[in-house]
Amino acid sequence: MPIAALSDPHMGDAAKNPDRSEKIIAVILFVGVVCFGVAGAAYWQNWSPWTFGGALGAGLFLLGFGLTAWGKYLMPQGPFVEERHTLASTPEERDVMSAALVERSAVVVKRRRMLGGLFAAGAGIFAIVAAFPLIRSLGPLPGDSLEVTGWRKGTVLVDSSGRPIRKNTLVVGGIMTVYPQHTVNPQTGFITADGQAIDQTVLIRVSDQPFTTEPGREDWTPDGYVAYSKLCTHLGCPVGLYEQELELLVCPCHQSMFNVRNGAVPQFGPAPRPLPQMHLGYNDAGYLIAMAPYDQAVGPGFWERTT
């Protein structure tokens, strides 16, 4: 098909009435241009984002719609056909390629096995050497970083403003998030990232009497105060919801529930372990303190975790 005349049906417009289509498209494009003008004014005058974006979007849409309609209704529609030539080469050409690979290797490489071996060894060692700065330099070895917190024997519990907790700070049923004293700056209200992310602990006054969450923890709850790591043992979200009636701590991420009276054993949801409990006590000034660090790693599970 060397030359197609416009009278050829393949070259024709799809539109039944091309002149009318042309006028409609012209109007669409013109309104689009006007919309861009409005968008420009909206930007210049700092009108609301929705005026600016709406005008911009409308202009873009009309311009695109007009252009597409032009292509669809007023351009050669075909159908045109293109032959698909086979991609594969002839068997002879394939053989020539394979022969070059095989025969040249036989001559040049196989006779120099030692050179090849040395080069391969060199490249391999280089890859290992190069991987070290690429991977090892990225960060420290984990060590025991996932097992330790900022809590020590005698660390004073403070709230997010840095105020220590006294016996009467919380009424029964009250709850607050506490941090180690050294992580909160009482002047600026700044809390260190580790204090927020690792040491965060939830303090609840469950009753006005000490109670036993688990055997062996008889003296961990002075005056009915109980403290658990706030990091969910499932994925490390803060266990931020407290259902006071049921005495349940709920993780909003995946709905794990922990019973605060029974050692935060999971009652529901995907969390596999109880929240680690803090051994609470008072110091000489009457402030709540940790009597010991957490007895296990806080947060979700990982390979090196021993319990």
Partner 1 sequence: MSDTAAKTKRNTRAALGPYGHVGKIVGELDDRLGVAKGGRVFLDKIFPDHWSFMLGEIALYSFVVLIATGVFLSLFFVPSTQQVIYHGSYKPLDGQWVSEAYKSTVGISFDVRGGLLIRQMHHWAADIFTGSIVVHMARIFFTGAFRKPRELNWIIGLTMLILAIFEGFIGYSLPDDLISGTGLRIGYSIAESIPLVGSYVVSFLWGGTFPGDIIIPRFFIIHVLIIPLVLIGLLSAHLGLLVRQKHTQFKAEGRTENNVVGSPLFPTFMAKTTGFLFMVTAATALLGAFAQINPIWQFGSYDASKISYAVQPDWYMGWLDGALRIMPSWELTGLGHTVPLEVFLPAVVFPGLIFTLCGIWPMLERRVTGDNEMHNLLDRPRDRPKRTAAGVAVFALLFTLFAASSTDVLANFFHVSLNQVLWFFRVAVIVVPIISGLVAYQLCREMQGVHGIGQRKRAVIVRRSVEGEYSTVPAEPRADDQHAELDPEPVPVRIDIEPLSNGSTREPASSPTGVRQVSR
State the nearest-atom distance from the C-beta of 44 to partner 1, in Å.
Answer: 9
CB within 8 A of 195, min separation 6: which ones?
150, 179, 180, 183, 184
238 closest CA partner among 251, 255, 228: 251
DSSP 59: H
- Does residue 305 contact residue 294 with C-beta atoms inside 8 Å? no
Residue among 52 and 225 whose Cβ is closer to partner 1: 52
Residue among 81 and 285 whose Cβ is closer to partner 1: 81
State the nearest-atom distance from the C-beta of 169 to partner 1, in Å.
Answer: 18
Residue among 204 and 271 whose Cβ is closer to partner 1: 271
Residue among 1 and 123 whose Cβ is closer to partner 1: 1
Q: Is 306 in the site for partner 1 (CB under 8 A)?
A: yes
Measure the CA angle with vertex 305, ends 205 and 148; round to 5°. 55
Computed over its alpha carbons, how large is the radius of gyration of the chain? 37
- Select the span of 66-74, 98-106, 121-129, 285-293 touching partner 1 (CB under 8 A): 66-74
Site string for partner 1, 153-192 (x = CB under 8 A): -------x----------------x-x--------xxxx-
Q: Is 52 in the site for partner 1 (CB under 8 A)?
A: yes
Question: From the CB of residue 42, how many other CB atoms can be counted at a distance below 10 Å?
Answer: 19
State the nearest-atom distance from the C-beta of 221 to partner 1, in Å.
Answer: 22
Quick check: helix, strand or coil at residue 242? Answer: strand
**Interacting positions 87-146 with partner 1 (CB under 8 A):** 87, 135-136, 138-142, 145-146
Distance separating the N- and C-terminal Cα atoms of the chain = 80
Residue among 191 and 226 whose Cβ is closer to partner 1: 191
Q: Is 224 in the site for partner 1 (CB under 8 A)?
A: no
Alpha-helix runs per DSSP H in 111-171 = 113-135
Q: Is 82 in the site for partner 1 (CB under 8 A)?
A: yes
Applying CB under 8 A, the site for partner 1 has a residue count of: 101
B/e letters for 180-198, b = 16+ CB within 10 Å, e = fewer, are bbebbeeeeeebbeebbeb
Q: Is 37 in the site for partner 1 (CB under 8 A)?
A: no
Site string for partner 1, 6-25 (x = CB under 8 A): xxxxxxxxx-x-xx------
213 closest CA partner among 111, 120, 295, 116: 295
